[in-house]
Each structure stands twice: as C-alpha cells, then as structure tokens.
C-alpha cells in the first residue's frame, strides 16, 4: 500500500525532512509534529486538515525559501486557513 500523502503523519515527515535541511533535528521535529496530531484530534479537530495543508505547502518550498525565515511569507492561503480554524 502507498502512503496517504494527505495524512497528517505523512505531512510531518515531509515538513521535517525539509526543516532538516535548515539545521533542525529530524527526530525532534517529528516528535513535536506527531504530538501536534493528537492535540488537534482531541482539542481542535477542525484545525487538523488546515495544519496538515500548511505542512504540505511548507514542505513543497525549495530549501532556501523554507529556511529563510525573514523572507516574505509563503503559503499565504494555507496560513490563513490554519489561523482561521482557531476562531
């Protein structure tokens, strides 16, 4: 069976792989990211998909864009959807 590329745990692996290229520890990133899944499932289920969508968008960025935290914002629509889910 193939992985579900929209599954939250898969998006964690994608974004953490990208952030590993920025100097973040992959294992630490995965631990943090995977713990967010259960938080969203239990406390903010409406935010799980927007959060995973933001992870997918960030993971698709070139490393130099993902690692440039002072650059203009990327993933504007995904960020807006994620922020809106808290309201």
pLDDT in tens, 12-45: 999 999 999 999 999 999 999 999 999 999 999 9
Structure tokens at 82: 């994620």
pLDDT at 72 exceeding the cut of 70: no
According to the model, what pLDDT value does residue 6 have?
A: 77
pLDDT at 1 exceeding the cut of 60: no
Dihedral pair phi/psi, residue 81, rounded to 5°? -65, -40
pTM over cut 0.85: yes
According to the model, what pLDDT value does residue 29 have?
A: 96
Q: Residues 6 or more apart from 40 whose CB is under 8 A from it?
A: 8, 47, 48, 51
SS3 23: coil
According to the model, what pLDDT value does residue 21 have?
A: 93
Give the separation between CA 36 and CA 68, rounded to whole angstroms: 23
């Amino acid at each position: 069976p193939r992985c579900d590329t929209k599954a939250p745990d898969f998006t964690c692996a994608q974004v953490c792989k990208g952030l590993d290229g920025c100097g973040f520890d992959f294992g630490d990133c995965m631990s943090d990211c995977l713990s967010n899944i259960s938080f969203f499932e239990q406390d903010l289920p409406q935010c799980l998909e927007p959060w995973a969508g933001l992870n997918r968008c960030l993971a698709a960025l070139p490393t130099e864009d993902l690692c440039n935290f002072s650059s203009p914002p990327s993933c504007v629509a995904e960020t807006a959807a994620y922020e809106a889910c808290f309201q």
